[in-house]
Amino acid sequence: MSNKTCLPRQMIVHPDTGLFLQYNSEYTPSDKIIYNTAWFHLTKDACYLIPSAAVTKIPQCQNITVTRHKRLIFDVINLCIASTAVGLSTSNTIQIGLLNQAVGGINTELKLMAEQLKSDSAHLTHIEQGQVRLGAELKKTEEMYNKTVTIVNELSTGYKYLNDKINYVKQEMNR
């Protein structure tokens, strides 16, 4: 489906400028150039469209004074706007350059921080492995300590038993 807007077949009239068009169908450009001359009826309202040198040669426009307003004020305004646009563009270019430098510096710092993080991670992994090893050794030491305490308690019980027997024997002998 086409995106073209189709106008209804009708006559298009603009009486102030003397424009009359008959719309027949969509315009399709030709593959070959056709040279035609068109004649349009000119009304007094359309005299301002013609260059001032040619206005004097057209009878319908003889009594019309064509005054053209100088555009100096608009030219000055346009020049000021253009100068401002160039200034803003230059300022933006400088700021973009400074931002690119700042981003480059930040990227460098981020790379250094990433490398430091990798190094710290490796160091922490090494420390963690050492802590695991120390934890295992501590667990073995604790087990050995517990076994030693058990043996000492058993020896203490045995010693107390023997001591009680020795004291009993001494008492029996003294009697």
Are 27 and 92 in a shared domain?
no
The whole-angstrom distance between residue 81's C-alpha and the CA centroid of its chain comes to 30
Residue 166 lies in a domain: no
pLDDT of residue 172: 87
Q: Please check whether residues 84 and 146 belong to one and the same domain.
A: yes
Instruction: Name the nearest CA neighbour of 22 among 6, 8, 3.
Output: 8
Do the domain assignments include residue 167? no
Query: Same domain, yes or no, for 59 and 85?
Result: no
Same domain, 101 and 131: yes
160 or 51, which is more confident: 160
Tokens 């990798």 sit on residue? 118
Shared domain check, 85 and 64 = no
* Residues 25 and 47 occupy one common structural domain: yes
Query: Average pLDDT over the chain, rounded to whole?
Result: 80
Residue type, 67: T
Q: Which residues contact 61 (CB under 8 A, 6 or more apart)?
A: 42, 44, 47, 50, 55
Residues 84 and 147 in one domain: yes
Mean pLDDT of 138-166: 91
**What is the Cα–Cα distance from 51 to 56, expressed in whole angstroms?**
9
Structural domain includes residue 98:
yes
Digit-coded pLDDT (tens) for 83-128: 999 999 999 999 999 999 999 999 999 999 999 998 888 888 888 8
pLDDT at 24 > cutoff 70: no
**Structural domain includes residue 3:** no
Higher pLDDT pick, 55 / 154: 154
Is residue 119 in some structural domain?
yes
Residue with tokens 């253009």: 82
Separation of alpha carbons 23 and 14, rounded Å: 14
- Together in a domain, 56 and 90: no
Average pLDDT of span 147-158: 91
Asked whether residue 174 is domain-assigned, the answer is no
| Residue 28 pLDDT exceeds 80 | no
pLDDT > 90: what percent of the chain? 34
Statement: residue 3 has pLDDT above 60: no
For residue 95, the model assigns a pLDDT of 96
* 54 and 114 housed in the same domain: no
Confidence (pLDDT) at 110: 94
Domains in the chain, number: 2
Q: Please state the pTM of the whole predicted model.
A: 0.34
Domain assignment present for residue 102? The answer is yes
Structural domain boundaries, residue 51: 10-68
Q: Are residues 92 and 37 in the same domain?
A: no
Q: Are residues 114 and 92 in the same domain?
A: yes
